[in-house]
């Protein structure tokens, strides 16, 4: 029995950022290759700090859904998931024994050699008439000056495709490092140039910045010396699921002392209690769960008694519904008190557990640990100290700013911020529907505090400059 966890970046602003990971998880789940498939994110829920706790089985494989190695795959993900590893991940991946689980962490799927075939496949989709005599391939990478491994995989794909002899030229250009994409016309000698973004998903770069920087007018653009064919990102190709499966199977060969595969005991107990309560009918947060003819009905508590609701029949339907509030605004934190109304889901017992997981990620596991007195609370100073890059600014937040943010952001959330010293007398396992513990500041709070601190520092700098004059 195996759990697969797909890790994405996610966003607290853009609901589309995490969609690709959900879609691939759905496809792999349907394939039956794994007994459980979970999604985890850096800037969404379930967070990197939560998702491992949600794994049902003790044999866990973690695959970063990134197109290349870099800062997130080598530093952020291992750090946040407590893997005890920093720096380049060896080709064979790493394996750890963690709390009774065998956890395998792999390289990102994008470094698998079979990605070269998908780049070529995307090129053929964009340009049906490819010839080594008149067609060049332009691979567009993101690149970064922070980590040389980020661009290495792009060059490796270039070299493999050159050896195939399909194109007259195969070149690589980047957004954020040399050679920059703006110089492509001086390099290509072929009259036709197929441009393929080496990106995980459609997004701001593939839809906005790349076309704008290259002067593209659609899928086909005529330039004085070239005809450019702009293709889909390689990471959206349907066969990516096969690549992910290959990466996971290769990781399964890793070994560690001990063994995995059984049901995770504490997770099993937690969900066992939830299902027992569901069979009698109970409220969790803003939803009411009621047993009906061997199934379970889930609906917003404010819609109890209504019969004019949209009917949902799957956990995915619940997931899609609760990502936005009634006004269509993205809900980056699932326990915000703005659950959309007007729906009801009828679910099997198995589907109910997944629907609750999508509705309130990790709440069952953390709530159960709280009830047993075993929930680890990470105080704000520790959370702030882990932030790096643009979010490192929150380390300069003062107590007043943190307290104001708790009032502003956390007051609209079902969770009680234990990480800021608040106390919770009873949790939902003890009969309090809204008694949900929050053991650590979420990414939404971190992001909002970053803006507050940035504005304050900018204001202080301006005041200091004015005083000096």
Share of the chain above pLDDT 70, in %: 97
**pLDDT one-digit tens code per residue, 16-35:** 888 889 999 998 999 888 99
Predicted pLDDT of residue 256: 52
Scanning the structure block, which residue is given the tokens 């060969």? 253
**Is the Cβ–Cβ distance between 195 and 231 less than 8 Å?**
yes
Counting residues of the chain whose pLDDT is more than 90, the rounded percentage is 81
Over residues 207-233, the pLDDT tens digits come to 999 999 999 999 999 999 999 999 999
CA distance between the termini of the chain:
69
Q: At what angle do helices 349-359 and 265-280 cross, to 10 degrees?
A: 100
Res 255 pLDDT > 60 = no
Domains, the chain, ordered by start: 3-111+239-264 (3.40.50.1400), 115-236 (3.40.50.1400), 266-361 (3.30.1360.190), 377-468 (3.30.70.2320)
What whole-number distance in Å separates Cα of residue 107 and Cα of residue 93? Answer: 6
Q: Which of 183-197, 242-256, 343-357, 423-437 has the lowest mean pLDDT?
A: 242-256
Distance CA(466)–CA(464), nearest Å, equals: 5
Q: What is the mean pLDDT of residues 112-140?
A: 96
Report whether pLDDT(350) > 90: yes
**Tens digits of per-residue pLDDT, 177-213?**
999 999 999 999 999 999 999 998 887 899 999 999 9
Q: Average pLDDT for residues 448-468, to the nearest whole number? A: 94
CB distance 232 to 270 below 8 Å? no
Q: Is the pLDDT of residue 259 over 60?
A: no
pLDDT category at 144 given cuts 50, 70, 90 is: confident
Over residues 368-421, the pLDDT tens digits come to 999 999 999 999 999 999 998 889 999 999 999 999 999 999 999 999 999 999
Cα 341 to Cα 33, 87, 296, 299, 307, distances in angstroms: 35, 45, 18, 8, 13
Q: In the predicted model, what is the mean pLDDT of residues 243-254?
A: 82
Distance CA 100, CA 276 (A): 25
Beta bridge partners of 164: none
Q: Write the CB contacts of 5 (distance below 8 Å, at least 6 apart in sequence).
A: 37, 38, 39, 40, 51, 52, 55, 60, 61, 62, 63
Summary mean pLDDT of the chain = 93
In tens, the pLDDT along 291-346 reads 999 999 999 999 999 999 999 999 999 999 999 999 999 998 999 999 999 999 99
136 — pLDDT class (breaks 50, 70, 90): very high
Q: DSSP 3-state helix, strand, coil percentages of the chain (rounded to 5)?
A: 45, 20, 35
Q: What confidence score (pLDDT) does residue 105 get? A: 96
Q: What pLDDT score does 82 carry? A: 93
State the pLDDT confidence band at 366, using cuts at 50, 70 and 90.
very high
**Segment 169-184 mean pLDDT:** 94
Q: Is the pLDDT score of 258 beyond 50?
A: no
């Amino acid at each position: 029995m195996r759990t697969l966890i797909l890790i994405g970046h996610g966003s607290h602003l853009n609901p589309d950022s995490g969609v690709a990971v959900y879609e691939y998880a759905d496809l792999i789940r349907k394939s039956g290759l794994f007994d459980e498939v979970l999604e985890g994110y850096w800037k969404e829920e379930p967070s990197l700090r939560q998702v491992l706790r949600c794994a049902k089985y003790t044999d866990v494989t973690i695959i970063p859904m990134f197109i290349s190695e870099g800062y997130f795959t080598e530093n952020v993900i291992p750090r946040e998931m407590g893997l005890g590893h920093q720096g380049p991940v060896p080709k064979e991946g790493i394996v750890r024994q963690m709390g009774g689980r065998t956890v395998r962490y792999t390289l990102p799927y994008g470094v698998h050699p079979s990605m070269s075939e998908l780049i070529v496949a995307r090129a053929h989709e964009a340009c049906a008439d490819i010839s080594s005599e008149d067609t060049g391939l332009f691979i567009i990478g993101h690149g970064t000056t922070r980590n040389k491994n980020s661009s290495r995989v792009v060059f490796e794909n270039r070299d493999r495709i050159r050896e195939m002899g399909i194109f007259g030229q195969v070149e690589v250009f980047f957004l954020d490092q040399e050679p920059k994409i703006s110089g492509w016309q001086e390099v290509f000698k072929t009259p036709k140039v197929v441009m393929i973004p080496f990106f995980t998903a459609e997004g701001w770069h593939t839809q906005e910045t790349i076309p704008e920087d290259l002067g593209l007018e659609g899928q086909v653009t005529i330039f004085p010396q070239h005809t450019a064919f702009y293709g889909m990102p390689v990471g959206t190709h349907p066969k990516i699921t096969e690549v992910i499966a290959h990466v996971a199977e290769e990781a399964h060969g890793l070994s560690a002392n001990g063994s995995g595969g059984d049901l995770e005991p504490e997770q099993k107990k937690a969900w066992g209690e939830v299902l027992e309560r569901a069979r009698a009918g109970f409220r969790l947060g803003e939803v009411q769960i009621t047993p009906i003819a061997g199934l379970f009905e889930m609906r917003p508590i404010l819609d109890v008694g209504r019969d004019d609701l949209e009917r949902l029949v799957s956990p995915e339907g619940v997931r899609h519904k609760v990502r936005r509030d009634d006004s269509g605004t993205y809900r980056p934190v699932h326990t915000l008190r703005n659950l959309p109304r007007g729906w009801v889901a009828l679910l099997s017992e198995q589907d109910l557990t997944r629907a609750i997981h999508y509705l309130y990620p990790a709440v069952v596991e953390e709530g159960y640990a709280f009830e047993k007195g075993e929930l680890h609370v990470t105080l704000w100073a520790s959370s702030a100290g882990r932030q790096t890059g643009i979010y490192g600014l929150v380390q300069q937040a003062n107590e007043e700013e943190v307290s104001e943010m708790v009032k502003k952001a956390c007051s609209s959330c079902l969770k009680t911020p234990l990480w800021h010293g608040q106390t919770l007398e009873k949790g939902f396992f003890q009969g309090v529907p809204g008694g949900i513990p929050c053991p650590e500041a979420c990414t939404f709070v971190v992001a909002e505090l970053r803006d507050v601190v940035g504005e304050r520092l900018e204001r202080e700098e301006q005041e200091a400059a004015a005083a000096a004059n």
